[in-house]
Every structure is written in C-alpha cells, then in structure tokens.
Structure 1
C-alpha cells in the first residue's frame, strides 16, 4: 500500500571531479519562499510554483555569497519583519527576505553556534521577535529583541555545558547540552533536568511540536518533510486517509480499512467520514453477496445505505426507471456476471433473485426505499412475477404501490395475469380501466375501441342525481384540479341547492347542513375560477349571509359585505374574520381601509359600540390613526380607547425612529466609505525595483503609475476601461 508519495522539486548539478563544496547544507521555508544554504557560503532564494494537478517545482529568484569560505549553518525567516537570519562563520547576519541584501542597521551577532526564534510579539508601538542565540564559546544562551531596524540583548542564561540543540516556547527554553536535556525558564530562572543522552550514538533533537510541548529525538512531522541530500531535495508527504482507505478497499482488506477509518475519524469532515464508512460497509456487503452469504450481505447493504439501483442494475430483465442513473459495478475479486448465470445455472440464479426480493421488501418502506419508490416497487413486482409468487404479487398490487404501469401491464399481459392487471389499475385509481379489464375477463371482448366518458357527458347524465353530481364535481375540482369556470360555478350552485332544498330530513339534519355550508364557504374563499355574480343570484333571496359577504367581497363590494355580516348575520366574529382573510397578503393601505369600513359599520349601529371598542383595542396595528380620529364620536372618553391610542402612538413612534435610525446608519456608512477613500488617496506609495505592474507583471521603468481603488499599482498604458468602471 502506498502511504507516501515523493517528487523531485530541486536538484544541484555536479561540478565535475574534485571535492564539491556547493552541496546543500540547510533549508528554510516561508510560504512560497524556499531558502537554501550551501557548504560554500551561498544563500539561494527560490519561489515555489505548483499548479493544480502538477508537481511542485522551485524557481530561483536570487542568491548571495556570504564569504569566500565557510558553510551556512542555519537559516531562519522572519516574515513579520521581512528578515532572513543567516548563521555563517559563527555569526548571525540579517538579510532582506526578498532581495537578500544585508540590513545595515542590524550588526552581526558574534560567537553563535545555533539559534532559534520565538513567536512574534505585536504591541501598539512596535513589532518584534525574540531571538535565542546559543554560544558554545560562552556556554550561554543570549536573548535578543529583534525589531525592523534594530536588535538588542535583553537577557542571558548561563549553561554548565556546551549547547548542542535548542527549542523555545514562550519563556521556557529546552536545551540539549553535550549529555542531557534541560528545561529552563529564563524569567523565573528555574531549571529542570529531564534525562541524559548519548551524543556519540544518537542524533540530538530538540523541537517544539505542539503548544507547550517539545519533541526530543523524534522523527518530526510527516505532513510535509523535505529530505535533503548533497545534491537534491525531495519532498515526502503522507497520502490522504481517503486514498489509503481506497487502496485497502481495492485489496479487499475491509477490516483494516474500517480500523484505519475509525483511527482518523477526528481528522475528517463528518460527511467524508460517513461516505467512506458507507463505501467500506458496501464493499464488505458485495464480497458476502457473491459468496452467497445473503443474510450478511443484506444487513451490510442496509447499514451502508447502498443505492438499490446498483443492485437492480446487475440483474437481467430488470428495468430502471431513473434515466439519469449511471451504474458503477462493484470491483471485487469474486464478482459474478448474473446474466451469464441466468443462462447457464438457473437454480443458482434463482438464489440471487430470491435475495433481491428479500432485500427490496426490507427497504421498501424505509427512507432509502422512499428515495427511489418507482425503481424499488417496479423491480419487486417483476421479481414476484419471475419467481411465480402470484399470491404475494396480488397482495402487493392491491396495496398502495409505485409500480410504473407502462412497464408492469405488458408483463402481466404476457403472463396472462389479467385479474392482477385489474387490481393494479384499481390501486392506482384508474377504476375505469379496471372495469374494462373486468369486461375483458368475462366477455373476452377488447374494449379498446370504447373511449372514456367526457366530463360534459357525465355531467349531463348526473343532472337529476344531486348527490352523485356533487361527488363528481368534487372529483373534477379537487382531484383533477379542473380550472374550468363552469365546473367551479356548478359545484358552488350545487352546494347552495343542497343547502336550500326543502327536504324535511335534510333541514332537520343540522350537522349535514353545517358541513355543506363549510364546504361552500371553503370553495368560495379558495377558488378563483367561479362566476361570483351567478352564485350570488343563486342565493340572493336566502339567509346565507356569510356566503353573500364572501361573494360581495370577491367583486370588490367590501362595505356591503361588512354590512351584511354586522346588520343581517349579526356575527361580529365573522365580520372580523372576513377582514382578516380578505386583507391577507394585501398592502397596509388596503388593510387600514378595510378595518376602517368595519369600524364605521359598527359606529352606525349603537348596539355595536362595545364591539367597536374591542375592535380598536385588539387590532390597533390594522388602523390608520388619523382615519380613526375622524370617525370617532366626540362623546367617547379617552379612557375608553386608551389602549388603542397607546399602541398606535407606540407604533407611529417606532416607525419614525426606525426611519431615523436607518437614515443615520446610511449616513454613517457613507462617512465610513468617505473616510476610507480619503485615507487610501492620501497614503504614500513607495516605488522601488521590486514593484511590478499588477496587470502585465512588468517592473516600473518610470515614476508614472496609476493606483486602483483596491490598492494595486498598474502602468498608465495598462489602465483599461474595466479598471475605470
């Protein structure tokens, strides 16, 4: 199994015979920058380039010769200061990270054998990094504060032996001397000896691994390791867990894959973990499936949420309803071709067919089965038919199912299962087709030349049968979703006829009457296809005041509708419910006018004064305060409508303050944008050789340039119309 992948990113070319001093001595990486120190005192700066799908490579930017001889012992980049610290000739020199030019303000630190850096510290006044320099000559670790243009020694830690390795975390130093490891806190001056080592037989290592921990004599991080040879650098990285698991699955080592997945669960996103686990479980299921261990295979397929279409697609003669499905056959060593098995070994193929029947029955009513109901039910239908399980088939098609008729009916006709065809049509609500099949069974006559009844023909037949007419119209309107005005109007008139008929039994059945009125009211509220004037003429002389109000409202006569509900129906609750339902989804002005009409209707009739007071106090947000003040009687006391005034004034004040707040926020945002623009336009721009045009990536040869609003510098000739926009 391939755990790591290696690629060559840089190689030094040999210089011929003789001793070559240009071998690689040390390496430092910072973002896309790579620095190499060689044995002959040369520092090279490279930039990494890696496009998607390509191996990373190094491109040389610049280099610097530190001296005639002497190796580069150590390199450390300080991105926050743009410094590169170089340990050469027992001295630390500060170079610019990009140009490798020495920084004149930072003089060399002498007598240094090794060094390390602390975390950058950001204060309001300055940014600095702590530098810890170990000296074998002085047997001490000196602490320096490194700024952009200066560094100074701020502390010193004496050692009993020569320092060999050094690591630091905050104020704690981990120092490897010639025979032991020591922890030393340079602020409290406390020290702790850890354990000894044998410098002659093992490599001494002291590195900070994670927060507050040091790694001693360990292999380091395997996420991305540069292996440095004398003439080349190779990068070693760990293959993603997903790749390792897929390779294990390719070898059918499912138990090892599952163990590895559980071990790296905390490193993976939840979705990736679930998908990998399903893949492992399903692979194990396929192995058991082809071993004919069907009970284990069924449980594993269900646990792994196997797409049932993957299994169905393996069987010959099974039709997939999903047109966009693309099958991915299982890649296991013991896979069999079920099509060949069907031709050569029927008894064995029937075992696989029985398993498919068992599996589909198990998942049919689960969430997984409900994702592809037509595929599952149609295949289960075919399996029953193929195995000759006719009793199960009849029971299956009698219940609710999602079989595709165009696929199933021809198969039933081929097997002469006409009674089952009738059951299938009936379960799908095609009762007329079921009757036709019954005619075919008993008369042996093909009814295919007889067309079904047209709705108009049926309505003409049912005219004298009121109950049947109502049921058929409800079928057309509610189930067939008919949008014909005639059907909706006829249904409303038929409801009204049933309510208004003089049959004593019907008149005495209050429950049936109320149910019929509710159906009529629901139709009048919800339907938009009936003729309101025709229905109103039907009930004009009746006492169906609520229905009259709905019809008047449908033609825009809201004031008349409210008068009917208040003065004739005398149902204040119905009047308020009318306002609520009619104003739903309408603008605020319409709502206020409608409620004002209801208030005026109440005030015109003295018995409804308490209702007017309750209407105001309970629906203050639905009224326009000025319109209410115009119609309120002068004899009313303030205490009577105090709640209404308080809520109205509160709402008015809230609206005014919200508008003021929105205006202030908009003004503040405008000022912030203007302030940012002023700061951006007054900022000084430093031009040097490192500056390149953001558009053409060429250096500036003159002082003329343009600056975009986003801060990029471009040549005047590169400034396009798109930039100006």
Structure 2
C-alpha cells in the first residue's frame, strides 16, 4: 500500500573533487521554517511553501550563519514562543534568533553538552519559559533548565548510573538510554525503572517520544517497542531490521530508517506497509504535518496520504481485513460521517467477497451490519433484472465475482444455494429499517424467488399477509406458473376481493387448473365469512349455495360480524335454498338463542315440510329426530300452527308431543297407543314427561296409560308388559283398584313383587332419612351447648332472660341466642326429653 508520498525539498549542489565537509548533519522544522545544520558548522534557514512540502524549486533560502571554522552542527531545536533556535555545536548549547540567526547575547552558552531535549513549552506560566534537558559529556547527569527569553537557569540535576546515549522526555518522565539499558526516571517522585537491556555495539540506540506518555525504543532482537511511562507496552512490538539508523512515529505508522530506504510499519497490525528508497540517509524528523528524511546532501519530505484515501485504496484492492484494522485504529481521527461511510463501504466489499466465496452466513451478517441496500444484491440475480430497472448499483465489483446467470445453467445445485441466501437475506431485512426503503422490490423479489424454488407454503404466507408485491410483475408470473390460488391471495391482500374470489371460483369450476390447493371451495366460504364487504358477499352467495347448501350457509352462520345481516334479509334470500334455510334457523335458535316465536315455528314447519317431501329418503329419520328435539326442548313455537301441518300425517309422536305441550297428556297417550302403535315410544313419553316432576305426577301418567290399555282387549299384553317393566312408576293400591277381576294372579305376580319391594324400600329409606336428620339436629344442639356453657362476669342488676329474675346465683350461662340465663333455666328449657 501507499501511506506516504516522497518529495525532494532540498538538495545541496555537488562539490568538486576531494572530501566534502558541507554534508547535512541535522534538521529542525517550525511551520514554514526549515533549519539545516551542516557538517562544516553552517546553519541554513529555508522557507517552505504552504503545507511544508513541495519540490526543491519552491523552497528558498532566507538566511545562513557560520558558527565557526569547523565542527558539525549536531542538534537544532526551535522554541517558537521565545523566538529562540537552540544549537548544539562544539560541545555547547548556544541560542540564536530563529529568524535572523543572530546570537542572543543575554543567553550564555551551556558548556560540556553531548545532547539535549526541549520539552513542551510551558506557555501558560508567567513569565513564559521552556524546559531544556541537557546531558553532560563529562558527567553522568541530566540537567534540567528553565529557558526564558533573556536567561536560563538550572533547576534540577538527575544522576545516572551510566553515560547517557539517547534522551526523550514526557512531562516529568525522562527516558534515557545508557550504554547497555533503557531507563525511565520520574524526576518529581525520584523513581527509576529499568525497562530492558540493549546491545549498543550491534544496534543503534533510539529513544523517541511517540505520543502522550509513550516512547519508541529500539529493543533487543531488533524490535521497535512502544513503551508507556509506567514501563508497560500496550501494543505489540514492530519487528524491523537490525541496521535501523533512526525511527519516528507518525500515527498510525512507525517509520524505520535504513541507509538506503525508509520502511513504514503499521502500529495497528505491525506489518510492513511501504518502502521508500533513499540514498545515504542519516535521520528522521517527524512534524505534525510531515516526516522529513535527512540524507547527506538531500532532504526529502514524506507527506501522508489522507487516511480515507488509504482505506479506500485497501478496499479497492480487496484487502478488507487490513482496511478494517486501519479504520478501527484511526476512528478518533476521522469525522463521524466519513468513518461511517468508510466502514459501510469496507463491510459491503467484505460481504461481497464472502458472498462469492459461498460463505453465505458471514456474508449475510456483513450485509446487514453495513446496512446494504437490498437492491444491490437483488440485481445480481438474472431472473430479478426486471424488478429494479431504474436502480443503479453502487457496489464496487470484486475480483472473485461469479456470473450467476451462467451458474444457473451450468451448476444448478450451487445456484440453488445462492437462491437460498437471497431468500434468507431478504426475509431478515424485510421488516427492518434497511428494507423499508425498497419494500416493493423486496416483496416482489421474494415472490419470484419462491416461485422459482416451488416453495408453496412460503409463497402463500407472503401474499396472504400484508405485502408490497408489484401486481404488474407478480400477476403474469403467477399465471405463468399456474399458481391461481396464490394469485387470489395476492388480489385479496391488495383489497381486490372480487378479483380474488372470482379467481378461486374459476379454479373450482375448473376453468384454470391449480393442483397446489385441495379444497378451494371451502376457502371461498371461509373468506366470505370473514369479509366485511356486504356487496361482495351477496355477489357470490348464489354461486356458493348452488354448489353446496350446507357448507355455503356458513357465509352467514360463521360470519365474524353477527349484525351484518338481518334475519329477515337472509330468510328472503334462502327461500330457494331449503336446506340452507334449515341450517340458518338452527344457527339462530341453538347458537344465537333466538327467543322469537316465528323463528322456532318456521324451523318446526320447515322440518315438517322436509319430512313430507322425503318420504323415501334415508335422511327422513334424522330430520324427524331434529323435529322431535325441537318440539321437546322449545316452548316458543306456535303449537296450533305446527299441529295444523301434521294433523293429517303419520307423525304421531310429534302430535303427542304437541298435545303434551298443552297439558293434554292423556290425549297424547291415546294418540300414541291407537295411532302410533309404538309401545316403547309410549312408555318413553311417560318417562320423559315425568322428568323433574313429583311421584304423584309419574303415577298419574302411567295409570292413565294403563287405563287406555285396559279399555281394549287388544292391548292386554301391552298392559301386562307395562306393569311388569315399570312397577316403580305405579301406585300399587290404585292399580289393584282398576285391574279386571278376570286377571289371574300369575299375570301380575312380577308386578306385585316389584311393587311391594319398592314400597318396602321407600319406607325404609324414609326412616333412614329421618334418623339422619335427628342425628344432625343433635350434633348442632351439642355444639350450641358447648358454646353456651362458659362462666362469665356480669354487673349487678342483670336479669335472667328465661325466668326474668335477677342473676343472683354464682353460675349462669349465655344462651345460644346470646342472652344471659340461669344454669337451671337452661337445663329446663333444653331438657333431653324432647320428642320428634
């Protein structure tokens, strides 16, 4: 990748033959000012164009100063707030004006200095000063000075165990490299920490401040170590070469200088990202805007490429993992909108790469995470091209892209996996914010996809629920695939109920074949029963009832809105559909519990009419059973009107029930005996009418039936059977009074035995009940006495509730009703000699 661009900003002219003593030794920068320290003791002041870069033709020299006849300028540092330029030359630190390069006479030289470091300016103090740290060339100490505009003063000295070789400072923490180790010393707390050893003979010693509270060190094993001021490293080290001359940090990169190149490593993943060739390199100077590379006769400016451009370049090369690492590492340096756009772009490209690698689960997660427009994926599929014709894809192409159209023809199993992915992805984003911007396209694509995959259940579920399918695209597709039932569901979801039901009607009438749904007729009925559009129901009601009256009547009986149709309105419509009329009347009476006489009467007369019309029909008995049930249970029908319709018919049980409803039980029994000639039905009538009545009523009913039997000699056998089979229903005395004298004892022996046994049983049961009542009474009385027999205190003047005398005795009780009473009075009143 390309993180920096290199520009030559200064080049010394070539000298003649012989040893060149004017090579570049050091460099300092401030804003547009560039200061060069040369080997021959000359300081050059250059002015750079805006931005600090530009080629050598745009750099001009504005000043030069010769410090002496010979000797290299070892170090330069500006203190801009004081307009000072500090120079280390000939073993001493002197001060020049940073614009005129004239010496500052008020500041004398600091002698015997091998290197120095200027800390951040303390420009909030009064007077303003900067901190200067100098390393003595003769003693193992670091001196701390305060540099003012016209003076400096030594405020502290820090002793070292060995000679210092390199120095960097962060606030009160001094990072020093000695002959064999790196040290961290806090000069306020006087604490010293050994970090690690180094091999001075085999590697260059590097100690640079790399950030807030962090130092860059050349560690053992040629490792670029980023160490915090507490000695801890939070980042993995950078593995660079053994011949590193200098290093600098320009976040998020570490630049390692070799004699012939600058190698640029990422702090975030510790990988080598770029190599820039340089001839005869000597050092690096990192500024807030650029990094300068110092060579013997040249100065190069390394200008960082915008982070967004770097990330996009990595993304374009499909190095998405590196791009994400870089993006996460520099998130704090980017505007929020820029970060979000870059993150979305990287994630989309990563998802697309995994998509074509058939890593569908990871691809789906990435597409959802980055909020990818679903249309970007839909338009990749050949069969979906007509859905989003006006959409212009923004997603960048990737190298491993596959032609899905070719894949659909040559490798169908793999293409089916791509289809499955599309279905899963669209289903997951369909109800999210990500999918709301293109609801119609998503739903239409899902419908086409389910059609291709022949997923009937998913297809019907999609169109039967609220959806945004485009009718102009989906209707032709459904018709082409002969999915007419689904087409009706689609019409229904769009509120086109007439088109929906008419489509299903065509299926039932076999005008259009659709084998995916078995009972379309019942579906039509259920749909009409749920429909709130009355005019549509009336439009198809005739067709529904003509096909099946019993099932079709459900459009009225199972309708969700019971008040939509008035009964009279339905009656007038059902006049030509008698079976449906009966079903509707049964619904009104048994489910809606109608209390209107006309409904009950109409149902009864309709039953009668059906029975009379179906004399030879196998369903005749079932209708009679329904009629009898209605006559027995209902008390709201008009008995005279119903009786008038069955008077001349053979519906004898029905006649008897009607007589019984008017209290003419004997007449009902006569009808059953003489016209119905059904002995069992007659006995059943007696028992049914006796249900819930007292014993006297039951005796009367059966005695009436016996008398009717005894009136004719033809029914003697029936009378005997009646007595023997229903002995418990008769009063023995009354039976004996009406029995003919001509009957032998043998005929009624069974009846007499059963009757006597029943009489004896009833007498004993009454005695048991009476004794149980006595026991219960005594139990309650005993409980009351236990509650009343308690001594209590009363005031004088109280009288006995029973005898009305003063309570002068020592013992008295509270009666069960709560009144005070003498003990003797209580015993007298509650004497055990009570008769029951």
CA distance in 1 between counterparts of 2:162 and 2:364 reads 69
Q: CA RMSD in A?
A: 4.7
CA distance in 2 between counterparts of 1:416 and 1:7 reads 71
Write out aligned runs for 1:168-567 (5 A). Answer: 168-171=169-172, 173-176=174-177, 199-211=200-212, 215-217=216-218, 219-223=247-251, 224=286, 225-235=291-301, 282-283=348-349, 285-292=351-358, 294=360, 297-298=363-364, 301-302=367-368, 305-319=371-385, 325-328=391-394, 331-342=397-408, 349-389=415-455, 392-412=458-478, 420-431=486-497
Alignment match, 1:149: 150
Query: Relative to 1, partners in 2 of residues 1:401 and 1:53: Cα closer, same or farther, differing over 3 Å?
Result: farther
Write out aligned runs for 1:44-83 (5 A). Answer: 44-49=44-49, 59-67=59-67, 68-83=69-84
Alignment match, 2:109: 108
Residue 360 of structure 1 aligns to a residue in which SS?
A: helix
CA distance in 1 between counterparts of 2:162 and 2:428 reads 75
Residue 99 of structure 2 aligns to a residue in which SS?
A: coil
Q: State how many pairs are aligned.
A: 448
CA distance in 2 between counterparts of 1:168 and 1:352 reads 59
CA distance in 2 between counterparts of 1:7 and 1:307 reads 42
Alpha-carbon contact 1:8-1:234 (below 8 Å) kept? yes
CA distance in 1 between counterparts of 2:428 and 2:191 reads 69
Alignment match, 1:38: 38
Task: Tell me how far 1:314 sits from its aligned partner.
Answer: 0.9
Task: Tell me how far 1:331 sits from its aligned partner.
Answer: 3.7
For structure 2, which runs of at least 5 residues remain unmatched after alignment? Answer: 219-223, 225-246, 252-285, 512-532, 536-836
Alpha-carbon contact 2:356-2:400 (below 8 Å) kept? yes
Alignment match, 1:23: 23
CA distance in 2 between counterparts of 1:94 and 1:328 reads 60
Alignment match, 1:690: none
CA distance in 2 between counterparts of 1:357 and 1:184 reads 64
Alpha-carbon contact 1:62-1:100 (below 8 Å) kept? no
Query: Relative to 1, partners in 2 of residues 1:361 and 1:136: Cα closer, same or farther, differing over 3 Å?
Result: closer
Query: Relative to 1, partners in 2 of residues 1:122 and 1:363: Cα closer, same or farther, differing over 3 Å?
Result: closer
Task: Tell me how far 1:61 sits from its aligned partner.
Answer: 4.9
CA distance in 2 between counterparts of 1:365 and 1:269 reads 30
Alpha-carbon contact 1:49-1:56 (below 8 Å) kept? no
1:10 maps onto 2:10 in alignment: yes
Residue 76 of structure 1 aligns to a residue in which SS?
A: strand
Q: Which is greater in Rg? A: 2
Residue 121 of structure 1 aligns to a residue in which SS?
A: coil
Query: Relative to 1, partners in 2 of residues 1:402 and 1:21: Cα closer, same or farther, differing over 3 Å?
Result: same
Alignment match, 2:561: none
TM-score w.r.t. length of structure 1: 0.51
CA distance in 2 between counterparts of 1:308 and 1:193 reads 58
Query: Relative to 1, partners in 2 of residues 1:161 and 1:401: Cα closer, same or farther, differing over 3 Å?
Result: closer
CA distance in 2 between counterparts of 1:128 and 1:344 reads 78
Task: Tell me how far 1:72 sits from its aligned partner.
Answer: 1.4
CA distance in 1 between counterparts of 2:353 and 2:73 reads 58
Residue 299 of structure 2 aligns to a residue in which SS?
A: strand
Query: Relative to 1, partners in 2 of residues 1:313 and 1:46: Cα closer, same or farther, differing over 3 Å?
Result: farther
Task: Tell me how far 1:400 sits from its aligned partner.
Answer: 0.5
CA distance in 2 between counterparts of 1:179 and 1:442 reads 97
CA distance in 2 between counterparts of 1:426 and 1:53 reads 70
Task: Tell me how far 1:100 sits from its aligned partner.
Answer: 2.9
CA distance in 2 between counterparts of 1:31 and 1:77 reads 11
Alpha-carbon contact 2:463-2:489 (below 8 Å) kept? yes
Deviations 1:340-395 (A, max 9, x none): 44566667645533443343234323443334211211111222344455564344
Query: Relative to 1, partners in 2 of residues 1:56 and 1:250: Cα closer, same or farther, differing over 3 Å?
Result: farther
Residue 113 of structure 1 aligns to a residue in which SS?
A: strand
Residue 393 of structure 2 aligns to a residue in which SS?
A: coil
Query: Relative to 1, partners in 2 of residues 1:148 and 1:282: Cα closer, same or farther, differing over 3 Å?
Result: same
CA distance in 1 between counterparts of 2:155 and 2:357 reads 74
Alpha-carbon contact 1:90-1:113 (below 8 Å) kept? yes
Query: Relative to 1, partners in 2 of residues 1:129 and 1:378: Cα closer, same or farther, differing over 3 Å?
Result: same
Query: Relative to 1, partners in 2 of residues 1:46 and 1:411: Cα closer, same or farther, differing over 3 Å?
Result: farther
CA distance in 1 between counterparts of 2:393 and 2:193 reads 65
Deviations 1:613-640 (A, max 9, x none): xxxxxxxxxxxxxxxxxxxxxxxxxxxx
Task: Tell me how far 1:75 sits from its aligned partner.
Answer: 0.5
Residue 25 of structure 1 aligns to a residue in which SS?
A: strand
CA distance in 2 between counterparts of 1:270 and 1:429 reads 45
Alpha-carbon contact 1:309-1:320 (below 8 Å) kept? no
CA distance in 1 between counterparts of 2:480 and 2:383 reads 14
Deviations 1:130-161 (A, max 9, x none): 22333325665444322123334445556776
For structure 1, which runs of at least 5 residues remain unmatched after alignment? Answer: 446-466, 470-725
Write out aligned runs for 1:148-167 (5 A). Answer: 148-155=149-156, 163-167=164-168
Alpha-carbon contact 1:282-1:304 (below 8 Å) kept? yes
Task: Tell me how far 1:315 sits from its aligned partner.
Answer: 1.6
Alpha-carbon contact 2:145-2:154 (below 8 Å) kept? yes
Write out aligned runs for 1:661-676 (5 A). Answer: none
TM-score w.r.t. length of structure 2: 0.45
CA distance in 2 between counterparts of 1:392 and 1:405 reads 18
Query: Relative to 1, partners in 2 of residues 1:85 and 1:299: Cα closer, same or farther, differing over 3 Å?
Result: closer
Task: Tell me how far 1:25 sits from its aligned partner.
Answer: 0.7
Task: Tell me how far 1:282 sits from its aligned partner.
Answer: 4.8
